[in-house]
């Protein structure tokens, strides 16, 4: 970065944050509380819309949390460290396990595959109630 360059932090519109969430590369982080503390875990995800994401997991702690109606946060980001730029989108919402046969068949036929394949895989949907984002740019 040149010595006279500056960086700025910009707040994104909810529309831009939703577009970035939908167009990102299938890896995000879910944050949830399980009674013992807050956890943040990486998950492979697929945006169904700007208001809903699904992910596949074998994590017992995530399944236990969502079976009790977890409010969660979900984050995706991207950066270009050489250029001191990047963005982050945080979505908040309510997570539930996907249990409907038709939904599960559709999801299992889709493009999303867990990187850590397990016979205990379960699908979780986050219905997004709030989404925000920030971008850092070099000027």
Q: Does residue 102 sit within a domain? A: yes
Between 97 and 59, where is the model more confident?
97
Domain interval for residue 126: 7-138
Q: Does residue 48 sit within a domain? A: yes
**E strand spans, the chain:** 7-11, 27-33, 38-49, 52-57, 71-80, 85-97, 122-138
CATH number reported for the structural domain that contains residue 107 in this entry: 2.30.110.10
Q: Does residue 2 sit within a domain? A: no
Residue 117 confidence class, pLDDT cut points 50, 70, 90: low
pLDDT of residue 1 exceeding 50: no
Q: Does residue 1 sit within a domain? A: no
Q: Does residue 133 sit within a domain? A: yes
Residues linked to residue 80 through DSSP beta bridges, in sequence order: 85
Q: Does residue 69 sit within a domain? A: yes
Neighbours of 53 (CB within 10 A): 25
pTM of the model: 0.83
Q: What is the total count of domains within the chain?
A: 1
Distance CA 139, CA 135 (A): 12
Give 99-111 pLDDT, tens digit per residue: 899 998 888 888 8
Burial 62-96 (b: 16+ CB within 10 A, else e): bbebbeeebebbbbbbeeeeeeebebbbbbbbebe
Neighbours of 21 (CB within 10 A): 24
R_g of the chain computed on alpha carbons = 16
The beta-carbon contacts of 99-108 under 8 Å, at least 24 apart in sequence, are 107/46, 107/54, 107/56
Q: Does residue 134 sit within a domain? A: yes
Give 12-70 pLDDT, tens digit per residue: 999 999 999 988 768 899 999 888 889 898 988 999 888 899 988 877 778 777 777 78
Residue 17 neighbours by CB under 8 Å, 6+ apart: 89, 91, 131, 132, 133
């Amino acid at each position: 970065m040149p010595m006279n360059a500056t960086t700025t932090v910009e707040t994104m519109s909810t529309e831009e944050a939703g577009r970035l969430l939908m167009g990102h590369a299938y890896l995000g982080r879910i944050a949830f509380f399980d009674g013992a503390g807050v956890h943040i875990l990486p998950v492979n995800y697929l945006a169904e819309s700007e208001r809903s994401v699904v992910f596949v997991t074998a994590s017992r702690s995530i399944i236990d949390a969502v079976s009790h109606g977890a409010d969660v946060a979900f984050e995706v980001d991207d950066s270009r460290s050489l250029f001191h730029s990047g963005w982050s989108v945080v979505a908040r919402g309510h997570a539930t396990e996907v249990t409907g046969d038709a939904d599960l068949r559709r999801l299992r036929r889709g493009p999303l595959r867990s990187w850590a394949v397990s016979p205990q895989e379960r699908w979780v949907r986050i219905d997004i109630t709030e989404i925000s984002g920030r971008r850092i740019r070099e000027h």
